[in-house]
Amino acid sequence: MKFTFSKYQIFVVALLAFIQFTVVLDFMILSPLGVQVMDQLKISTTKFGLVVSAYAFSAGISGILAAGFADRFDRKKMLLFFYTGFVLGTVLCGIAPNYEFLLFARIVTGLFGGVIASISFAIIADLFPMEARGRVMGLVMTAFAASQVFGLPIGVFFSNLWGWQSPFWMIAVISGLVGVAALFKLEPIVSHLGHGTENKAIKHLVATAGNSNYLPGFLATMLLATGGYMLMPFGSAFSVHNLGITLEDLPLVYFVTGVVSMAAGPLIGRAADKFGKYPIFLISSLIACGILFYYTAMGITPLWFVILINSALFVVITGRVISAQALNSAMPELRDRGAYMAISSSLQQLSGGIASYAAGLIVVQTPSGYIQGYPNLGYVVIIAILITVAIMHKVNEYVSSKHPAPVKGEKEAALVSET
């Protein structure tokens, strides 16, 4: 029997997608505003880099701190608490008069915003059966592509009109409206309460982090972020100086790539539910390895082919993330779900920061702008992908043992039961 979403479940998916859109956009918007921020605040590239990385590291720390409490409260209250803090941090960015204030504002935003994704994934695992999570993850993950397609161009347009602070006000207003919708329309989510959760936060955190069954999931989550964080910082420079794409054509590359990713996300989610999460992850990973091997060694290339290969790469990366997140959501026991997601999110943020730093040690930018060593970066990412494939096989085995495929007579009951 095919799983059918209720009207309320459709609302929840849309709400979580909008929340992810605002959080991702807030994280991404600072990079294209760099020229204006450095000029107006009179700061160096090193200081600006610290402002950007402060979000990721504070998000990683907050995830660890929140993990012990994540399963002790109504998930709706947890979501509203951290989303309110995120909006406050975004407003502080919008009024930042100097470097020190902006750095503080990004730390505040990261402390609250970094936990929201883990709460959202816990809600998805609570409200949707395993058989539908691929589709749900596919729809929610379109928020990443949507922020690239719609959010960044609009944010940059606003900054050109009213200054670099204005995009943060735009995000704050949108987030406020989404928060009001969550306050009045989202029902309490308390199914995880009363399932033997450890009352003491530190003990719950230690027990979850130290559970040997969860180790493959934590390792996979860390390595899953490696590719994106290693390639992203130098992606635009590589496209311009190595592939020969003009700065004027670069937005077109990102726009088309984002649109393709938005269209592919829900389709990949359906495929993951129909054919299995791990098979889709495996296929996406192997194709990604082939594309990366060719892409990172490319030279001067026509615009149409750069758009084509970037789009293909982002589709398979989207496939890896959607299938991995759907599969990983079934790892923890119900009583540990919030803590598990929070720890995973923290590890992802921290490993991403380390990966970005490591990428800077692997590649070198010459005075002409040409990026040397980019193929070596590709090799490192390919190795990380293949290791992740092996680890995700362990995750799949564990999840399969917990959630065996229902026989024909049991399918209908399994679709509506809570996993």
**The token pair that represents 252 in the structure block:** 């077109």
DSSP 141-198: THHHHHIIIIIHHHHHHHHHHH-TTHHHHHHHHHHHHHHHHHHHHSPP--TTTTS---
Q: Rounded CA gap, 261 and 1, in Å?
A: 29
CA terminus-to-terminus distance, the chain = 17
Phi, psi of 3 (to 5 degrees): -70, 130
φ and ψ of 196, to 5 deg:
80, 25
Phi-psi region of 4 (alpha: psi -120 to 50; beta: other; left: phi over 0): beta
CATH 1.20.1250.20, the chain: domain bounds: 8-195, 197-403
Domain 197-403 has CATH 1.20.1250.20: yes
**Two structure tokens written together for 143:** 């928020």
Picking from 347, 348, 344, 349, the residue whose alpha carbon sits closest to that of residue 56 is 349
CA distance 211 to 16: 28
- Residue holding tokens 């990713």? 261
Q: Which residues pair with 153 in a beta bridge?
A: none
Question: Taking the CA atoms of the chain, what radius of gyration do you get in angstroms?
Answer: 21
pLDDT value, residue 42: 83
Angle, in degrees to the nearest 10, between helices 7-29 and 133-140? 40
Query: Identity (one letter) of the amino acid at 127?
Result: L
- Tokens at 31, concatenated: 């990079």
Q: Tens-digit pLDDT profile for the chain (419 aa)?
A: 566 788 898 999 899 989 988 988 887 777 667 667 777 888 775 677 677 777 877 887 887 777 666 667 788 998 999 999 999 999 999 999 998 999 999 999 988 988 888 788 888 888 888 788 788 888 887 777 777 667 767 776 777 788 888 889 999 999 999 999 999 999 988 876 665 554 566 776 788 878 888 899 889 988 887 766 677 766 777 888 889 988 778 778 878 888 888 888 888 888 988 898 999 999 999 999 999 999 999 999 999 999 999 899 989 988 898 898 888 888 888 777 777 877 887 787 777 767 777 777 788 778 887 888 889 989 999 999 999 999 999 999 998 887 665 544 444 444 444 44
pTM (two decimals): 0.73
Determine the Cα angle at 128 with ends 143 and 83, to 5°. Answer: 45
The continuous run of DSSP H or E covering 364 comes out as strand 364-365
Beta bridge partners of residue 371, listed in sequence order: 365
pLDDT of residue 176: 94
The H or E element spanning position 371 is strand 371-372
Determine the pLDDT at residue 35.
Answer: 61
User: 72 in helix, strand or coil?
Assistant: coil
Q: Which CATH class is domain 8-195?
A: mainly alpha
Tokens 């084509």 belong to residue: 308
Tokens coding 150: 């719609």
Measured over the CA atoms of residue 202, residue 52, residue 83 and residue 190, the dihedral's sign is: negative
Question: Residue 137's closest CA among 257, 280, 285, 332?
Answer: 280
Distances (CA, A) of 4 to 132, 178, 365: 9, 25, 52
Q: Are 335 and 197 in contact (CB under 8 A)?
A: yes
How does DSSP assign 219-232, residue by residue?
A: HHHHHHTHHHHHHH
Q: What is the pLDDT of residue 2?
A: 64
Give CA–CA dist 377/363, Å, rounded.
Answer: 7
